Structure formats: structure tokens, C-alpha cells
């Protein structure tokens, strides 16, 4: 049985709005988790934050095949090679299952030695280890969920992943409230809530995929497993390199800010700005993912003219929306700034300094959003089109040189602290955005698509 071949003709808005809700919920849950953790202690926030940073590095290994699978799914379905797309799903799930199972075992049994190596004799290690054991042990669920979600979206079932994520987020918030305010389980309770929500999300994705996406039988596989894996790696490895470099650059930024200001105010400002600015990030992220799905379909159909023009149009929309939100946050963001600063325990002169620095950084963030929206939307389209290597190379050099070296010079050597760091981050996004747009306009990506 074949799914309907008109799947590539689904309206962009039907793909976009479920993704917008998904990204919004993810950001909202992250913010609520952070705010609720302050009810436990500042140490709990630090422990969970440290563990989450290391988990982010490890999660890069999952993006190799989840990103690669999205490109393969959409291009194969655009070319009406539905059975090959189904086979690619099995391959991607099997590989990520093996990777995530190994990582889960490592975190369950070796979290404490790993954190001792990374954090030394920090007092945060015991709590961070508890969190890493539980949440790290559940990565076997998070390694599979994006692949199933991308598979459903590729077949036009855009709302199904949203409903699964919605259920998981509700479970996460409810369990967090119970764990923190009712049972007083602290970090362990938060970790259990997160792990259970990951499990619920995967189960929801699998059930909805089984219900909505037909099993395709009695067909001939015209693309070998070796070619499918090769195509996934072609897209996924450079994308993972870019993500890894990004996390590495952010870790470098934190280290530089701690050297510049051991009191932690500069780092607090950076974290606060990131939380607030994530509101402006939401539409660009959703537009980028939705457009990447349409890009894959169109590349599979060899409809390159429509692909090129629509991506530039979506990039312009993303730029307009994200910059407008960033401007509103910079102008009217005082209540949100005060909420975070006070929740983090700041008062007196320290509170005034944090609020002042956050306001300045939010204005710089407007420039950052100009670059980030274009970088996200055109960069994701380049990846799915098969030109992921270019994105990875640009990301590697910009994040290591511009962010790494630039943060040291402006933030530490020239004494600008977090202001200098945000100037550098904005410069990085703008430069990468220009590079992505230039590459897109060259049409070199047309020669790199996965379907001949």
C-alpha cells in the first residue's frame, strides 16, 4: 500500500504551525523547569545546568542520523520512492538504537567518574551525577524520537509529532510540580520527571506513526542499505560537526566569562539573555524545520526553481518576525528581566547591574537575530538538499575563530565581558547567515541532491 503521492503538495502553513507549537512548548518547558528548580536551590540549578551541558554534547551523536534521515525521507518521498524511505527509517532507528543504548549504559554506570574528571571537586558533582544517571540513562528514548517524528512529517502527518510532544511536555510539567513542591525530591525528582517525559514522547510518536503512516509492502528496494547510510552520513556528519562546535563555543564563552568575572554575574547575564531571547528564536526555528521538509520534497522532485525562491521568501519572513520580536523584547522586556534576575536571587547593586547588562545585551541580540534567522533557514535547507558539508565547514571556522578567539579578545582581553561576548555572537551569526545565503544563491546545492 502506498501513501498518497500528493504529500509534497501540502501547504507550508500545515507543516509550519505544528512545528511552531512544538518549539514553543519546548522553550516554555525549559523556562518553567529552570524557574521551578530555583525553588529547590541555586545549587540544584547549577547541578542540572552542568549535567544538561554535557548531555548536549552527547546528543550530537544522535543528530548525525536524525538530520541525515530527514534529508533521505523527504527526498525519497518527493521522488515517490516510498519503500526506500520506509527502509531508511528502519536503518536509522537501528543505528541510533545501538548508539543510544551504549551511551545510556555509560551514563548509568560511570556518571560520577565522568563528572569528577570534568568538574573536579565541585560540590555540584553528587547532585549532577544523580541527574546524569537518570536523564542520561533515558537517552535511549531521545535518540529515536526525532527520527520517528521526521518520518511522520515526511509523509504529511505534521500534527502527530506535535500531539506526542504536547503530551510529554504536560507530563513533564505535572511531574516536576509534584516532585519539587509535593514530594520534595529535588534533583532526583526533576530527573525522573524528565526521563518519564522522554519515554512518553517516544511511545506517543510510535503509536501515532503506527496509526497514521501505512506499512508499505510488496515493493522493490531500488536503493541499497549502503547507499542510504552513505547519504545519511553525507548530510548528518557535517551537521553534527556544526552542532558540536556550537556547544563547544558556548562552553568556551562560559569559561571566558568566569575568568573575567569570578563572581558569576557575567554568566548570569548571559543565561538570562538566552532564556529571554529564546522567544525570538521560536519562529525562525519552526520556519527552518518546516522549510527544510519542503526543500527535501522539492529536491526529490527536481523542482529546484520553486525550492530556491521559496527558501528565500521564508528566510525573509523569518528575519522580519524574529527581529520584530527581538526589538519588542529590547524595548519592553523589563518585567521579564526582573522576573529572572530576582528568581536567581539577585538584589541591591547586583540586581541593578544584571538588569543593566541584560538590557544592553538584548539590544545586541537584535543584530544577532538578523543573522540567526537567515543562517537557520537557509542553512537547514542546504543540509537537506545535500550540501551539508559547506554548512559544517563554515560553522567550524566561524565558531572556532570568530566566537572562540573573538570572545577571548573582546570579552577578556579588552575587558568588555558579556557585552563583548554578545557582540561576537552576533557577528558570528551574521557572517554565517551571509555565507549561507551566498551559497544558496550559487545553486551549487542542486548538484548535491541525494536523488539522481
Q: List % helix, strand, coil for the chain (3-state, nearest 5).
A: 85, 0, 15
pLDDT for 63 beyond 70: yes
The predicted-structure confidence for 267-296, as pLDDT tens digits, reads as follows: 878 888 988 999 999 999 999 999 999 999
The three three-digit cell numbers of residue 273, written as one number: 539573555
Helix 265-300, helix 145-154: angle, nearest 10: 40
pLDDT attached to residue 26: 85
Q: Which residue has the higher pLDDT, 437 or 63?
A: 437
The pLDDT mean for the chain works out to 89
The three three-digit cell numbers of residue 245, written as one number: 562546535
**For the stretch 127-139, what's the b/e string if a residue is b when 16 or more beta carbons lie within 10 angstroms of its beta carbon?**
bbbbbbbbbbbbb
Instruction: Match 543573522 to its residue by C-alpha cell.
Output: 371
Nearest 10 degrees: CA dihedral of 196, 49, 423, 335? 80
Name the DSSP class of 58.
Answer: H
Whether the CB-CB separation of 320 and 374 falls below 8 Å is answered with no
Among 51-65, 153-167, 192-206, which is the least confidently predicted range? Answer: 51-65
Residue 370: CB atoms within 10 Å: 18
Closest CA to 89 of 164, 147, 159: 147
Against a cut of 0.85, is the pTM above it? yes
The dihedral region occupied by 10, where left means phi > 0, alpha psi between -120 and 50, and beta the remainder, is beta
The mean pLDDT value for 373-393 works out to: 97
pLDDT for 243 beyond 80: yes
The three three-digit cell numbers of residue 62, written as one number: 544522535
Nearest 10 degrees: CA dihedral of 238, 132, 260, 248? -10
CA distance 166 to 173: 11
Confidence grade of residue 1 (pLDDT, cut at 50, 70, 90): very low
Q: Which residue has the higher pLDDT, 261 or 423?
A: 423
Task: Compute the chain's Rg from CA coordinates.
Answer: 22
pLDDT for 2 beyond 60: no
The predicted-structure confidence for 147-195, as pLDDT tens digits, reads as follows: 999 999 999 898 999 999 999 999 999 999 999 999 999 899 999 999 9
pLDDT for 25 beyond 70: yes
Q: Spell out the domain ranges in the chain.
A: 1-223, 236-452
What are the residues whose beta carbons fall under 8 Å from the beta carbon of 357, sequence distance 6 or more? Answer: 265, 266, 269, 417, 418, 419
The mean pLDDT value for 401-419 works out to: 95
CA distance 370 to 267: 24
Whether the CB-CB separation of 133 and 110 falls below 8 Å is answered with no
Amino acid at each position: 500500500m502506498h501513501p498518497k503521492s500528493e504529500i509534497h503538495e501540502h501547504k507550508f502553513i500545515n507543516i509550519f504551525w505544528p512545528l511552531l507549537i512544538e518549539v514553543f512548548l519546548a522553550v516554555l518547558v525549559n523556562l518553567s523547569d529552570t524557574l521551578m528548580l530555583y525553588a529547590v536551590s541555586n545549587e540544584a540549578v547549577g547541578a542540572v545546568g552542568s549535567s544538561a551541558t554535557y548531555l548536549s554534547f552527547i546528543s550530537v551523536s544522535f543528530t548525525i542520523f536524525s538530520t541525515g534521515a530527514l534529508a533521505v525521507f523527504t527526498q525519497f518521498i518527493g521522488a515517490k520512492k516510498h519503500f526506500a524511505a520506509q527502509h531508511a527509517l528502519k536503518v536509522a532507528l537501528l543505528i541510533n538504537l545501538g548508539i543510544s543504548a551504549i551511551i545510556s549504559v555509560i551514563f548509568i554506570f560511570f556518571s560520577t567518574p565522568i563528572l569528577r574528571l570534568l568538574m573536579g571537586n565541585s560540590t555540584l558533582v553528587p547532585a549532577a551525577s544523580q541527574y546524569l544517571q537518570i536523564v542520561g540513562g533515558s537517552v535511549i528514548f531521545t535518540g529515536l524520537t526525532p527520527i520517528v517524528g521526521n518520518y511522520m512529517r515526511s509523509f504529511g502527518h505534521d500534527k502527530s509529532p506535535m500531539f506526542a510532544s504536547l503530551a510529554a511536555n504536560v507530563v513533564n510539567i505535572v511531574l516536576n510540580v509534584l516532585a519539587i513542591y509535593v514530594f520534595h525530591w529535588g534533583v532526583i525528582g526533576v530527573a525522573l520527571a524528565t526521563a518519564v517525559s522522554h519515554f512518553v514522547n517516544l511511545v506517543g510518536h510510535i503509536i501515532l506513526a503506527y496509526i497514521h503512516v501505512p506499512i508499505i509492502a510488496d515493493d522493490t528496494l531500488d536503493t541499497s542499505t549502503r547507499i542510504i547510510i552513505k547519504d545519511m552520513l553525507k548530510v548528518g556528519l557535517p551537521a553534527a560537526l556544526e552542532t558540536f562546535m556550537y556547544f563547544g563555543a558556548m562552553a568556551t564563552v562560559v569559561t571566558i566569562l568566569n575568568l573575567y568575572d569570578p563572581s558569576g554575574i557575567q554568566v548570569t547575564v548571559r543565561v538570562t539573555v538566552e532564556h529571554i531571547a529564546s522567544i525570538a528564536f521560536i519562529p525562525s526555528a519552526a520556519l527552518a524545520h518546516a522549510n527544510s521538509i519542503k526543500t527535501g520534497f522539492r529536491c526529490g522532485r527536481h523542482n529546484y526553481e520553486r525550492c530556491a525562491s521559496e527558501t528565500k521568501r521564508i528566510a525573509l519572513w523569518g528575519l522580519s518576525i524574529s527581529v520584530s520580536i527581538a526589538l519588542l523584547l529590547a524595548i519592553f522586556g523589563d518585567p521579564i528581566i526582573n522576573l529572572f534576575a530576582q528568581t536567581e536571587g539577585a538584589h541591591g547593586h547586583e540586581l541593578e547591574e544584571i538588569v543593566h547588562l541584560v538590557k544592553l545585551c538584548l539590544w545586541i541580540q537584535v543584530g544577532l537575530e538578523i543573522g540567526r534567522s537567515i543562517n537557520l533557514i537557509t542553512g537547514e535547507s542546504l543540509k537537506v538538499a545535500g550540501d551539508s558539508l559547506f554548512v559544517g565547514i563554515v560553522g567550524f571556522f566561524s565558531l572556532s575563530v570568530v566566537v572562540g578567539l573573538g570572545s577571548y579578545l573582546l570579552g577578556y582581553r579588552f575587558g568588555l565581558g558579556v557585552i563583548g561576548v554578545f557582540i561576537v555572537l552576533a557577528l558570528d551569526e551574521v557572517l554565517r547567515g551571509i555565507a549561507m545565503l551566498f551559497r544558496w544563491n550559487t545553486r551549487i546545492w542542486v548538484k548535491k541532491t541525494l536523488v539522481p
